[in-house]
Structure 1
Amino acid sequence: MRKKLTSLTFLLLSFMASAQTMPAPSTEPSIDNSVYNKWSIELNGGVNKPMYRMSPGYFTEALNPFHVDLGARYMFNPKFGLKLDFGYDQFKEADDYPEFKSQYYRTSLQGVINLGRTLNFETWTNTFGLLLHGGFGAAMLKSDDGFDGEDYMANGILGLTGQVRLGNRVALTADLTGVVNALQNWNFDGMGPTSTGAIDGVILNASLGLTFYLGKHARHADWVGEEDRIDEIDRRLSLIETGLLDSDKDGVADLYDLEPNSVTGVAVNTKGQSIDNNQNGVPDELESYLEKTYGVKSDGIATNTTVEQLINDGYVNVYFDFNSSKPTTASLSGIDFLVKYLKNNPNKTADVVGYADEIGSSSYNVELSRKRAEAVKQVAVNAGIDASRLNVIANGEDTSVNKDSKEARQIVRRVSFQVK
C-alpha cells in the first residue's frame, strides 16, 4: 500500500507540473496575463465530522476539533485554476464515550472553478466571491490507542469556498468540504477494521481562513471580471490606434518608428531613422540641401559653420499651440536637430529663446515664453545635453506678424536657438 501511495503522489505532482504549461480552453477574449496575479496561498482551520466508518460505540463531538488546511493555488485565467493542498484532522472521543485519539493526513490536487466570475458576480458586487473545488489525492490514518502503523488510502474531495475580499492582497474565506476515502482499512477511531464497501470513510470539514494573493500586480484573477476584460480590449485597441499614427509624417507608423521625431521631409529607413551615412548628426538629405543652398562644402560634407548659420538664422524652431508650453509633436525634430549639433560640437553652447504671440497681456506673455524655453531646454537635457550649455531667454511677444491672423500667430508661438 505504501508503494501505491508513493506512486499516486508522484503521479499527482507530475500532472500538476505539466498543467502549469497547459493553456485553459476558452472561446472568450482573454485578459493579458500581465494585468493580474495568478498565485495565492490558502490557510484555514476549523472543525471536522467523520460521518462514516466509526467502530460501534465510538463517537466524536458533532463539531469535532480540529482541522487545518494549507494550499497553494494557481489560476490559469479568472475562471479556472488548480491547487495543491495538505490537510490535517484530529479525531477524539465525545464526552462520556470510550476514549480514542487518531490523526488523519491528506494531500490532493484539485481543480478550482471561480463561480463568482462564471456567474458574473462583478455586476452586483466587488466584495464577495465563490469557488468550487474538487479533485483526488492520497491520505494516511494513524491511531494512538488502536492499530499499529499507518493506514494508507486514496481519496476524492469536493468543496465550496465563500470569499470576502479584504483588500487586493488578502481575502477572508469560509469553506465546507467533503472527503471520501477508498482503500481504507481501519475506522477513523482506529479501534476496528472497516467493513468491505466501495466507500470506506467520509469526512466533512468546516473552516474559516485567509487567502493571501502573491504577485506584483494590483489584483488577483479571483477578482477580475467581464468589465476588466472589456477595459483590456479597449486598452489594446487604443494602443493599436495610437501606434498606427505617424507623428513625424515620415511614412513609418509610431509603433515601428525608432526615431518618431525625425526632421520633416528627409529620407528615412524602414525603421523611421533619418539616413545619415556619414554619421555626422545631420540627415544626408538635409545636408545636401545645405550644401546646395549655402555652397559650403568640406569633402562633400556640409560644414558645422553652415549648420550653425542655419540654426542662428531661425530655420530651426520648435512650435507651440495657443497658450501652451508643451512643444507640438511635429516640431520636436527642431530640438533633435539642436541636440545632434551640440553633441557633435561639445565646445558649443546655445541660447534657448522663447516667444509668444500678442494675445494676452505683455507680462503674461513674457512668462509664457520663458516656460516654453524652459520646456525645450528640459527636453534637450533629457536627450543628453548638459544644462550648463543651454541658456534660457524669455523674449515675450513677437510683434512681427499681423496679430489678427491665426496662421501668422502660430508661426511666432515658438522657441528658436542661437548657437555660440
Structure 2
Amino acid sequence: MKKITLLTLAFAAFSLSSTAQESLLNDYNKWSIDVGVGVAKASSPITPATEGVFFDTKLQDVAFELGARYMVNDKFGFKASGLYFQSTNTGDPAFDLDTEVFRANLEGVINLGNILGFREFTQRVNLLFHGGIGATNVSLPADAVLANESETLLNFMGGLTPQIRLTDNIALNLDISVIGNLQQDLTYDGRANVPQTRNFDGMIVTATGGLSIYLGKHDKHADWVDNSPKKLFGDRVQELEEQLAKVQRDLQDTDKDGVADYLDREPNTTSGVAVNTKGESIDMNKNGIPDELESSLEKMYVTKEYASETYFAGGVEGVKPDANDNLINVYFRFDSTQPEYYSLDAINQIVKYMRAHPEAEAVLTGYADQIGNTEYNNTLSENRAKKVYDIVIASGIEESRLSYRGGGVDSSVDKNSEEARQIVRRVSFELK
C-alpha cells in the first residue's frame, strides 16, 4: 500500500501542470455587472490662472459608473464600461460651470490577485488592474463662453480595483482610474484650449465605490478561483485517491466465486457453484438453474418446475427486504448522475423482482453528499433518481409502477471522509 501511495503522489505531481487548468475551465462563473458611484475631477485643460480664474483641485464631482465584465479565464478578461459626471471647475462660483463629461471604454482586465497568489493567504481580498481605449464626450452648458459646444475625443485609461468578497455572488469594489483625452479643444470651464499640446490635453481622475454582481450557475466567479499550487495539488491527489479506492472496490469478490466484481456479470452466484470466466454459473440448458444444483435436484426427485420456483424465484424473494432495508443501492461518483457500473446489478435485481411480481411498485429516492450548494444538491439528488428511473423503464418495467424523488443531502456520515461520502451518493429503493 505504501508503494501504491508513493506512485500515486508521484503521478499527481507529474500530471498536475497539464490537468490543473483543464479542471478549472467549467468550475466558475465568468460574467459580472459592475456598478459604482463616487467622485471625479477633470484636472486639465482649464483657463490659466493668469486670467483670474483659479481651478478647484478637490476631488468632489459626483460620478456614476456602470460596466459589464467577462473573464476569459481566472487571470484575464475584458470589460466594457461607462462613467458620467458634471465637472465643477473653479473655486469661484461666478466662473463655475457644470460641464457634462461622459466616457465609454473597452478594456482588458488582469486579475492581479490570482497572478500574485492572493488565494494562498486570503479568500476575501482581491486586486484587479484594468486598462484600455475609448471615447470621451465633453459638453459645455449654455452659459459657457463657447455656449453649447461639445466634442468627442479618443481616450486612454488605466486603473486599479481592490475587491472585498461579501458573498459568492457579490463583491465590494473600490476603483481608482486615470483617463487621458487626446487633442482636447475645449476647456472644462468653457473656453478654447490654447495652447494645445496635441498629446494628452485632457486629464480626468476618478474614485468610485460599488459592487460586482456575479452571474452564472457555479458557486464562485473567476475573481475568486483558488488556483494556488497547494490547492491544485491537493485536488489532484484527492482525485487519484478516489480512483485508487474505486480500483480496490472493483477488485473485491463479493460472491467468492474467484471473479472480481468489475468482471463479474453475476455477482450473486450461489456459493460453491462452478462459474465461467465472466463469473456466470454454468447453465447449459438455459433453464435458469446452475447445472450442479439441477443434477442434485434430479437425484432427490424434484421437478424442474419446483426447482425453478425454489432456487430461481427464491433468489429474487430476498430483494424486497434487502431493498427496504437500504441494502440495495445504486451509487454515483461525485457531482455525477451516471451510476457506477458496479451498481448496475442493483438495478438488475429490482427489475428481476418486479418482473417476477407484476403487482409490485417501487419508489426511487436519490441522495447527494454534503459537499457543495444545498439547492444544487437537492436538484442533483432528484436527477440521480430520475436517471435510475429511466433505466428501469428502459428495462421493460411499466412507468405506472414507478415513481422517483430527490431526498436531498444525506448528512449521516462524516463530511471529511471521501469513503463515507461515497456511500451516501446513491439512489435507494422502496418496494411495495
Q: Write the distance in 2 (CA, Å) between the matches of 1:137 and 1:260.
A: 67
- Give the letter aligned to residue 34 of structure 1: N
1:246 maps to 250
State the secondary structure of the residue aligned to 1:138. strand
Q: Write the distance in 1 (CA, Å) between the matches of 2:351 and 2:252.
A: 17
2:20 maps to 29
1:213 maps to 214
Work out whether residues 261 and 342 of structure 2, in 8 Å CA contact, stay in contact via their aligned partners in 1: no
Partner deviation per Cα, 1:90-123 (whole Å, 9 max, x = no partner): 2023332512221111111111111222222222
Work out whether residues 89 and 188 of structure 2, in 8 Å CA contact, stay in contact via their aligned partners in 1: no
Work out whether residues 261 and 333 of structure 1, in 8 Å CA contact, stay in contact via their aligned partners in 2: no
Partner deviation per Cα, 1:110-145 (whole Å, 9 max, x = no partner): 111112222222222222111111111122111113
Task: Kindly state the Cα deviation for residue 52 of structure 1 after the two structures are TM-superposed.
Answer: 2.3
Gaps of 5+ in 1: 1-25, 269-273, 276-281, 297-302, 319-323, 351-378, 390-420
Q: 1:338 to 1:266 in 2, by over 3 A?
A: farther
Work out whether residues 152 and 183 of structure 1, in 8 Å CA contact, stay in contact via their aligned partners in 2: no
State the secondary structure of the residue aligned to 1:135. strand
Work out the number of aligned pairs and report it: 312
- Give the letter aligned to residue 87 of structure 2: F
Partner deviation per Cα, 1:68-111 (whole Å, 9 max, x = no partner): 11111112222222111111122023332512221111111111
Q: Write the distance in 2 (CA, Å) between the matches of 1:53 and 1:332.
A: 75
Q: Where do residues 261-410 of structure 1 align in structure 2 (5 Å cutoff)?
A: 287=286, 290=289, 292=291, 294=294, 307-313=308-314, 326=327, 336=347, 338-347=349-358
Q: 1:49 to 1:307 in 2, by over 3 A?
A: farther
1:126 maps to 123
Residue of 45, 70, 74 corresponding to 2:37: 45
Residue of 58, 63, 77 corresponding to 1:62: 58
State the secondary structure of the residue aligned to 2:240. helix
Q: Write the distance in 2 (CA, Å) between the matches of 1:338 and 1:286.
A: 22
2:150 maps to 150
Pick the structure with greater CA Rg.
Answer: 1
Partner deviation per Cα, 1:208-265 (whole Å, 9 max, x = no partner): 1111111122222212221543454345435644665637878896xxx9x9986666
Q: Where do residues 64-83 of structure 1 align in structure 2 (5 Å cutoff)?
A: 64-83=60-79
Work out whether residues 342 and 348 of structure 1, in 8 Å CA contact, stay in contact via their aligned partners in 2: no
Partner deviation per Cα, 1:157-215 (whole Å, 9 max, x = no partner): 11011111112121111111101111322223332235132222111111111111111
Q: 1:325 to 1:224 in 2, by over 3 A?
A: same
Residue of 132, 135, 138 corresponding to 2:132: 135
TM-score when normalising by structure 1: 0.60
Q: 1:214 to 1:347 in 2, by over 3 A?
A: closer
Q: 1:80 to 1:304 in 2, by over 3 A?
A: farther
Q: Write the distance in 1 (CA, Å) between the matches of 2:170 and 2:342.
A: 49
Partner deviation per Cα, 1:285-329 (whole Å, 9 max, x = no partner): 894663756499xxxxxx9876533245559867xxxxx964599
- Give the letter aligned to residue 250 of structure 2: D
Work out whether residues 316 and 334 of structure 1, in 8 Å CA contact, stay in contact via their aligned partners in 2: no
Work out whether residues 248 and 261 of structure 1, in 8 Å CA contact, stay in contact via their aligned partners in 2: no
Q: 1:148 to 1:157 in 2, by over 3 A?
A: same
1:181 equivalent to 2:181? Answer yes
Q: 1:29 to 1:312 in 2, by over 3 A?
A: closer
Q: Where do residues 193-208 of structure 1 align in structure 2 (5 Å cutoff)?
A: 193=193, 195-208=196-209
Q: Write the distance in 2 (CA, Å) between the matches of 1:220 and 1:83.
A: 15
Q: 1:304 to 1:242 in 2, by over 3 A?
A: farther
RMSD after superposition: 4.6
Q: 1:239 to 1:76 in 2, by over 3 A?
A: farther
Partner deviation per Cα, 1:372-406 (whole Å, 9 max, x = no partner): xxxxxxx99x95789xx9xxxxxxxxxxxxxxxxx
State the secondary structure of the residue aligned to 1:77. coil
2:419 maps to none
Task: Kindly state the Cα deviation for residue 65 of structure 1 after the two structures are TM-superposed.
Answer: 1.2
Q: 1:98 to 1:305 in 2, by over 3 A?
A: farther
Work out whether residues 83 and 102 of structure 2, in 8 Å CA contact, stay in contact via their aligned partners in 1: yes
- Give the letter aligned to residue 216 of structure 1: K
Gaps of 5+ in 2: 1-16, 254-258, 270-274, 298-303, 320-324, 331-340, 362-387, 402-432
